[in-house]
Amino acid sequence: MKRLLQKIPDSLLRVGSVFIVFITVVLLIRSLIPASLKNSEEHRNATVEREVAHPVKHAGSEVCADCHEQYELKKTGYHKNLACETCHGAAQAHSEDQEIKPVLNRKREACTLCHLFNPSRPTGFPQINPVVHNPGKQCITCHNPHDPKPPRVPKDCQACHEQIERTKAVSPHVQLDCTTCHTVNEQHKITPRVVKANIPNDRTFCGKCHANDSKIKETPKVDLSTHGEKYLCWECHYPHMPEVN
Ligand code: HEC
Ligand code: HEC
Ligand code: HEC
Ligand code: HEC
Ligand code: HEC
Ligand code: HEC
Ligand code: HEC
Ligand code: HEC
C-alpha cells in the first residue's frame, strides 16, 4: 500500500486530496440544507403551510356588506372598483371585533393620493390641482367618498357667463351680485333661451346708487337730470366694468 502510494505522482495525490476535501464539503453543506429546499414537492407544501399560518388581515369588501350600507352605495358609483380596504386599511380584525376600529382618514391627502394631477396617470382619469381646487376644505365636504359624483353642472351664473364674471371681479362693481341688477328666474339656468334673464330698463335703476339723492353712501354721485342726458347709462358705461377714465 505504501509502495503503491509512492508510485502515484505527488501532483496527482495533491489534486486527489483537494477533490476529496471538496466532495466532503459539498456533502456536508447538502446535509445542512433542509429537505423542503431540495425536494420541490416538500418545498411547495412547506410554503403553503407557512402562508396559511399568517393571520388574515384583509376581509374583502363582501364581508363589509353584512353590516354597512356603504357597500350598496359604492357599488354603482365612480369608486365601484375600489375595495373598501383601499381606504380603510386591512379590516379583518374589525370585521370580527368591532371594538377594533379601521382606518378612517378624512384628510385631503387621502384623496390626492390618487387624484393629484400627474401627467403619467391614464388619460381621462379625473385629476385635480389641490392648490386651486377648493383649497382648505376636506374633499368629503363636497364629494361623498362612497359615491363621488361626477362634476355637477355649476349652478351659478359664471358657469355660462364666465367672461362677465371675470370682468366684474376686477371692476369697481366687484361687490355687487349679478342678481343686484338682473332678476333671474331659476329656470333661466336650465333653459336660458326660453326663460330669459332681465336687464335694468332705465336710468333710475343706476340712479338708486349713483343719483345725487341716493342714500347709498360709498358710491360716486352724478346729477341724473344732466349727466348723460337722454342716454341710457350703459350706452357710455359698461355695467360689468364701469370705468370713468
Ligand atoms: C359584523 C359587523 C361589521 C362588519 C362585518 C364590518 N363592520 Fe365596520 N363597523 C361595525 C360597527 C358596529 C361599527 C361601529 C359603528 C359606530 O361606531 O357607529 C363599525 C364602524 C366602521 C367604520 C367607522 C370607524 C370609525 O372610526 O367611526 C368603518 C370605516 C368601518 N366600520 C369599515 C368597515 C369595513 C371596511 C369593513 C369590511 C372590511 C367592515 N367595516 C366590516 C360593524 C361591522
Ligand atoms: C375612497 C376611499 C373610501 C372607500 C373606497 C371607502 N370609504 Fe368608507 N369612508 C371614507 C371616508 C373618507 C370616510 C369618512 C366620511 C365622513 O366623515 O364623512 C368614510 C366613512 C366610512 C364609515 C363611517 C360612517 C360614515 O359615513 O362616516 C363607514 C362605516 C365606511 N366608511 C365603510 C365603508 C365600506 C363598507 C366601504 C366599502 C363598501 C368603504 N367605506 C369604502 C373613505 C372610503
Ligand atoms: C385608490 C385610488 C383612489 C382614491 C384613494 C380615491 N379615488 Fe376617487 N376615483 C378613483 C377611481 C379609479 C375613480 C373612477 C375613475 C373613472 O371612472 O375613470 C375615481 C373617481 C372619483 C370622482 C369622480 C370624478 C369624475 O370623473 O366625475 C371623484 C369626484 C372622486 N373620485 C373623488 C375622490 C375623493 C373625494 C377621494 C377621497 C375620499 C377619492 N376620490 C379617493 C380612485 C381613487
Ligand atoms: C367646495 C367643494 C369641493 C371640495 C372641497 C372639493 N371639490 Fe372636487 N369638485 C367640486 C366640484 C363642484 C366639481 C365639479 C366642477 C369642477 O371641476 O370644478 C369637482 C370636481 C372634482 C373632480 C373631477 C374632476 C374632473 O376633471 O373630472 C375630482 C376628481 C375631484 N373634484 C376631487 C376632489 C378632491 C380629491 C378634493 C380634495 C383634495 C376635492 N375634490 C375637493 C367641488 C369640490
Ligand atoms: C346654463 C347656462 C346659463 C346660466 C347658469 C345662466 N345663464 Fe344667463 N344666459 C345664458 C344664455 C345662453 C343666454 C343668452 C340667451 C339668448 O341670447 O337668448 C343668457 C342671457 C343672459 C342675459 C341677457 C339677457 C338679454 O336679454 O340679453 C342676462 C342678463 C343673463 N343671462 C344673466 C344671468 C345671470 C345673472 C345668471 C345667474 C343668476 C345667469 N344668467 C345664469 C345662459 C345661462
Ligand atoms: C351694476 C349692475 C349689473 C351687474 C352687477 C351685472 N350686470 Fe349684467 N348687465 C347690466 C346691464 C345694465 C346690462 C345691459 C347692457 C347692455 O345692454 O349694453 C347687462 C347685460 C348683461 C348681459 C347681456 C349682455 C352682455 O353684456 O353680454 C349678460 C349676459 C349679463 N349682463 C350677465 C351678468 C352676470 C353673469 C353678472 C354677474 C357676474 C352681471 N351681469 C352683473 C347690469 C349689471
Ligand atoms: C347697488 C348699488 C349700485 C348700483 C345699482 C350701480 N352701482 Fe355703480 N357703483 C357702485 C359701487 C359700490 C361703486 C364703486 C364705488 C367705489 O369703488 O368707490 C360703483 C362705481 C360705479 C362707477 C364709477 C367707476 C369708477 O371708476 O369710479 C360707475 C361709472 C358706475 N358705478 C356706473 C354704474 C351704472 C352705469 C350702473 C347701472 C347699470 C350702476 N353703476 C349701478 C354701486 C352701484
Ligand atoms: C353720454 C355718455 C354717458 C352717459 C349716458 C352716462 N355717463 Fe356717467 N360718465 C360719463 C363720463 C364721460 C364720465 C367721466 C367724466 C365725468 O365725470 O363727467 C362719467 C362719470 C360717471 C360717474 C363717476 C363720477 C365721479 O365723480 O367719479 C358715475 C358714478 C357715472 N358716470 C354714473 C352714470 C350713471 C348712473 C348714468 C346713467 C344715469 C350715466 N353715468 C350715464 C359718461 C356718461
Give residue limits of the domains in the chain: 2-53, 61-141, 157-235
Q: What is the mean predicted confidence (pLDDT) over 182-205? A: 89
Q: What is the mean predicted confidence (pLDDT) over 232-239? A: 94
Residue 236 in contact with ligand 6 by CB distance below 6 A: no
Q: Are 70 and 62 a contacting pair, CB within 8 Å?
A: no
- Does the pLDDT of residue 154 top 60, yes or no? no
Query: How far is ligand 7, taken at its centre, from the CA of residue 220, in Å?
Result: 7
Read off the pLDDT of residues 51-67 as tens digits, 9 standing for 90 and up: 999 988 999 999 999 99
pLDDT of the residue at 153 = 52
Torsion over CA: 227, 229, 233, 238 (sign): negative
pLDDT of the residue at 245 = 57
Query: How far is ligand 2, taken at its centre, from the CA of residue 70, in Å?
Result: 7
Query: How far is ligand 7, taken at its centre, from the CA of residue 189, in Å?
Result: 26
Q: Mutate which of 115, 128, 152 to test ligand 3's pocket (most atoms within 8 Å of Cβ)? A: 115
pLDDT, the chain, mean: 89
Q: How confident is the model at residue 238 (pLDDT cuts 50, 70, 90)?
A: very high
